[in-house]
């Protein structure tokens, strides 16, 4: 059963889980991929509910999201998908079919082209409204030294949350 919710109804649960992992899923026409994200931000920007995700240039997902108009974030709340999150954060969709290898079920997005991971309970569907490459010269040195020793920076994608719901 699908239960529509406001984007901020499950923020506490989302924030508690995202450090453990969530699925960022993108379709760029012919190709669909998911990757594990451990960072994200939800808030209000330009008077809109926004989910901001960060994708490194080196990721296969970067190639797809650059061509896509939307993305989904699927968050397990009760289902323990630790093994699947680890796999999807370790292997590239360029080399393996993560959905098949992890037996993850895709379901068509309700308002976007990109699908959701049906095995999760909480879903955000987002249209990309802005993207910005990180500017290394403006980044705090401690963060740069801790997370970007190899200079593999992120591009930040701001997605307007156009649908948010639970699958119960």
Q: For the residues of 29-84, what is the DSSP string, one character each?
A: SS-EEEEEES--EEEEETTEEEEEEEEETTSHHHHHHTT-SEEEEEE-SSS--HHH
Name the band, by pLDDT with cuts 50, 70 and 90, for residue 146.
very high
Calpha distance 142→70 (Å, rounded):
32
DSSP H/E element including 141: helix 141-147
Which has the closest alpha carbon to 139: 147, 128, 150, 129?
147
Bridging pattern class, strands 48-56 and 2-4: unpaired
Sign of the torsion angle spanned by Cα atoms 58, 87, 39, 128: positive
Q: How far apart are CA 17 and CA 13, in angstroms?
A: 6
Burial group, residue 88, by CB count within 10 angstroms (0-12, 13-18, 19+): buried
pLDDT of residue 142: 96
Alpha-carbon distance of 168 to 163, in angstroms, equals 16
Contact 57, 111 (CB under 8 A): no
Residue-range domains of the chain with CATH: 2-167 (2.30.110.10)
Q: What would the pLDDT profile of 51-107 be if each residue is shown by its tens digit? A: 999 999 999 999 999 999 999 999 999 888 999 999 999 989 999 999 999 999 999
Read off the pTM.
0.95
pLDDT at 168: 87
Encoding tokens for residue 39? 């960072």
* Residue 30 confidence class, pLDDT cut points 50, 70, 90: confident
């Amino acid at each position: 059963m699908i239960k529509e919710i406001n984007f901020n109804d499950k923020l506490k649960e989302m924030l508690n889980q995202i450090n453990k992992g969530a699925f960022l899923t993108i379709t760029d026409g012919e190709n669909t991929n998911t990757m594990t994200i451990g960072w994200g931000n939800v808030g209000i920007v330009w008077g809109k509910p926004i989910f901001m995700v960060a994708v490194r240039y080196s990721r296969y997902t970067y190639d797809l999201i650059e061509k896509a108009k939307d993305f989904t974030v699927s968050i397990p709340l009760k289902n323990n998908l630790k093994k699947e999150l680890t796999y999807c954060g370790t292997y590239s969709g360029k080399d393996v079919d993560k959905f098949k290898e992890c037996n993850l079920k895709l379901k068509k997005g309700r308002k976007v082209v990109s699908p959701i991971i049906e095995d999760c309970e909480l879903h955000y569907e987002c249209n990309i409204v802005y993207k910005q490459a990180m500017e290394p010269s403006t980044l705090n040195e401690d963060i740069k030294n801790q997370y970007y020793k190899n200079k593999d920076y992120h591009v930040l994608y701001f997605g307007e949350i156009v649908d948010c719901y639970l699958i119960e």
